[in-house]
Chain A
Amino acid sequence: MVQQKFGEISYEDYPELTNDFVTELKDDKIMASVCSECDLKYFPPRTACENFHSPDAMKFVELESREAEMKAFTIIRFAPDSHADKAPYVVAIGELEDGHRVLAQLVGVTSLPKIGMKLKLKVQNVSEDRAYYKFVKG
């Protein structure tokens, strides 16, 4: 089985979590993690709960809603070296309906994005071993 990675360009440091997460993404499922000890939910997922620390207690649950509201954005024109050929691109922080905030690229917008606009997370397949989520207009 090929190791699954998040994004088009990444520096993996916890391949097991990302492997499991991206495997689900490929099935069009966006997973959060929830602690079975205290029910605290994390998105993006984590390997351990900040209260109970045990990796065994963390389980994947599918994100209930992909709708989000934009809290911040930028258009990156001078990019890090590894992304230089992709610039300009829009990066935004959106707040999901369950309160979790997530950062992702916003694609497909033709006018200047606005704080407060409705966004939606969408799964993007890249290749056999890569996928990620992105924001599109909600």
Chain B
Amino acid sequence: MESACATGTAAIITAANMIRSGQRDTVLVVGVEKMTAVSSSVATELMARAGDLRWEFPFGTSFPGYYAMMASAHMARYGTTKEMISKVGVKNHYYGSKNKYAHIQKEVSMEEALNAVKIADPLNLYDCSLISDGAAAVLLTKDDLAKNFTDTPISINGIGMGSDTMRMADRKSLTELVGAQKASKEAYQMAGVEPSDVDVAEVHDCFTIAELMAMEDLGFYKPGEAGPAVLDEQTYIGGKIPINVDGGLKSKGHPLGATGVSQAVELRKQLLGEAGERQVDGVDVALSHNVGQTGQFVNVLIYGRA
């Protein structure tokens, strides 16, 4: 499978559809990526080429740069502040420090998050996800075979996929990902739930601004309201909608192909009450949001207990 950073969930969706269509009984989905064999600047170069190669890459675009441009537009349109954006990194590092599988298990203070080395203004080091090695796997099977593998199966209740233009400048709005809105609408409809029913969410925080945009695109907040909600700690455990309580891409890491699968692994733990000190109370509906490129591919999955 290849769907840029959304490859993990694209593979899960493909496997689910193969099973539902009767083509296969059981499919093992393995997401794996090894990124640290090259320098950060080479990794940045290789990822940058997932954007528009002909008209944008010659200007030295990078993925931090693309999301930084979205941040500049979000800040100008809604008054989103750097502190709101940085708070996402502070939260995700807080939960990453409690996740033994996280790449960087370290808390970061607001002061450190605001003053870190700049990468692409307004984004700095603590706004950018990690260049990681990692792997995750899930086994998908037919409902009537699940008991052969586990007493506590998880079910996929909603699937949605959305897309947008490849070239970022072709988009009319830079403060939202239209593909994420389409994908989530489709997934909510299939699962028969509303955004307010979601108990915990794993969202694609490749950059901190992306988590704010996801909160709005997924319907948890109205456009422009995600930033203040994050500052108010509404996305911590105990808040309105806990998000990325495994550390997210920011602290757990972002091995591209593994990321979407890793979201499923975390949500399974949350649904079964196995997340330890990161456990959210009473999780029945769990949502995964996985973005490829700068929003060209977006997959949303809604999981529940079978």
Contacts and interface: CB of A to CB of B under 8 A. Distances in A.
A and B from one assembly? Answer: yes
Interface of A: 6-14, 18, 44, 71-84, 86-87, 89, 91-93, 101-105, 115-116, 132
A12 B53 CA distance: 8
Q: Which 5 A-B pairs have the closest CB atoms?
A: A7-B58, A74-B68, A83-B60, A80-B45, A72-B69
Contacts of B65: 74, 76, 91
Contact of A77 (B73, B121, B168, B174): B121
29 contacts: A6-B55, A9-B58, A11-B49, A13-B54, A44-B55, A74-B69, A74-B72, A74-B120, A74-B123, A75-B121, A77-B120, A78-B41, A78-B119, A79-B60, A80-B44, A80-B45, A81-B45, A91-B60, A93-B174, A101-B170, A101-B171, A102-B169, A103-B55, A103-B59, A103-B61, A103-B168, A105-B59, A115-B76, A132-B59
Contacts of B174: 71-72, 93
Contacts of B64: 74, 76, 78
A82 B41 CA distance: 8
B60 A105 contact: yes
Interface of B: 39-42, 44-45, 48-49, 52-62, 64-65, 68-73, 76, 118-123, 167-172, 174
Contacts of A12: 54
Nearest to A103: B169
Nearest to A77: B118
Nearest to A11: B53
Nearest to B68: A74
A80 B48 contact: yes
Candidate in A12, A13, A101, A116 with the most chain B CB atoms within 10 angstroms: A101
Contacts of A14: 54
A93 B168 contact: yes
A78 B60 contact: no
B163 to A, nearest CB: 14
B69 A10 contact: no
Contacts of A13: 53-54
Contact of A6 (B39, B42, B44, B58): B58
A11 B42 CA distance: 15
Given A8-B58, A74-B122, A103-B56, 5 more contacts: A72-B174, A73-B72, A79-B44, A91-B60, A101-B172
